[in-house]
Amino acid sequence: MPLITLTSDYGLVDHRVAAIKGKILSMNEDVKIVDITHEITAYHLTETAYIVRNAYANFPVGTIHIISVDSFYSKDRKAILYKANGHYFIAADNGLLSLIFFDQKPEAVYEITLNNRFDDVVKFASTDIFVPAAVHLHNGGLPEVIGRKLKNPVQLTFPRAVYNEFEKIIVGEIMYIDNFGNVISNISKNFFEKISSTHESYIVKFRNLSLNNIFERYTAFIPDWKNEMQYHGKSIAVFNDADLLEISIYKGNKHNGAKTLLGINVGERIYVEFS
């Protein structure tokens, strides 16, 4: 049977996550529920897109993903269902799913019509719309039964890194800060390699600092592991497991990582200058 995953900006103090799980289990006690995260910054769609995009592909094909971020119910906003890469994604029609799949078209998009069909009073979209839709799919139901094809869901533009050929510089943007304080940009490894193939050297620049190398893993810069301790706190640039350029403090955390020690924030520019 397929899994149902949960992602939200609800946190774990309030009742909402428990209510979602309780509603799922009241409809089918055999459902396996997996939390991706409930610590999304409130209403932060780009952060959500980064996390879900890099998590979902590790789940079995057929998994159903409920994404409750910026999802409080309004009669003027649809609840939608994406089918993409053999997975189902349920969310509010707020542009989030277009950010997750900014580089590909979904197999199908549906407006979930459960609340219209049964004229239910919707108090909480996650339990009253998302959960019934997810359990329906989990039980083998077809999306056409709970929704209708949607041609024009809300589309948002994912921030893309650009290359200025005249100045020979990639201009990127910090889009996420992880639990270790690492700051993650939108400069992909593929984009970097495409540009760097025609240049001899480069410098990564942010604020008034610069780094001369981008490493393939967090420990690649350590030449002598007998003296590993001396490298604690060193600033490095690395392509992370999502193949995105990241600035990290070796063995840093949320209190002494790159965000704190270097003062870098989401939305700031980061550059790769070629020569």
Contact 63, 9 (CB under 8 A): no
Percent of the chain with pLDDT over 90: 76
pLDDT at residue 117, as a whole number: 54
Tokens, residue 25: 């289990």
pLDDT at 122 over 90: no
Which contiguous run of DSSP H or E holds residue 46?
helix 45-56
pLDDT by residue (tens digit) across 25-56? Answer: 999 999 999 999 999 999 999 999 999 999 99
Average pLDDT, the chain: 92
pLDDT at residue 120, as a whole number: 62
Q: What is the pTM of this model?
A: 0.91
pLDDT at 115 over 70: no
pLDDT at 172 over 50: yes
Which contiguous run of DSSP H or E holds residue 214?
strand 214-215
pLDDT at residue 223, as a whole number: 75
Percent of the chain with pLDDT over 70: 98
pLDDT by residue (tens digit) across 230-260? Answer: 778 788 999 999 999 999 988 888 888 888 8
The CATH code of domain 4-149 reads: 3.40.50.10790
Tokens, residue 165: 């050929």
Write the DSSP symbol of residue 151.
S
Identical fold at 4-149 and 162-274?
Answer: no
Residue type, 177: I
Nearest C-alpha neighbor of 161 from the set 148, 153, 169, 171: 171
pLDDT by residue (tens digit) across 46-99? Answer: 999 999 999 999 999 999 999 999 998 888 889 999 999 999 999 999 999 999
Handedness of CA 217, 159, 253, 205 (dihedral sign): positive
162-274: what CATH class?
mainly beta
Domain ranges across the chain: 4-149, 162-274
pLDDT by residue (tens digit) across 173-184? Answer: 999 999 999 999
Contact 38, 17 (CB under 8 A): yes
Distance CA 136, CA 112 (A): 12
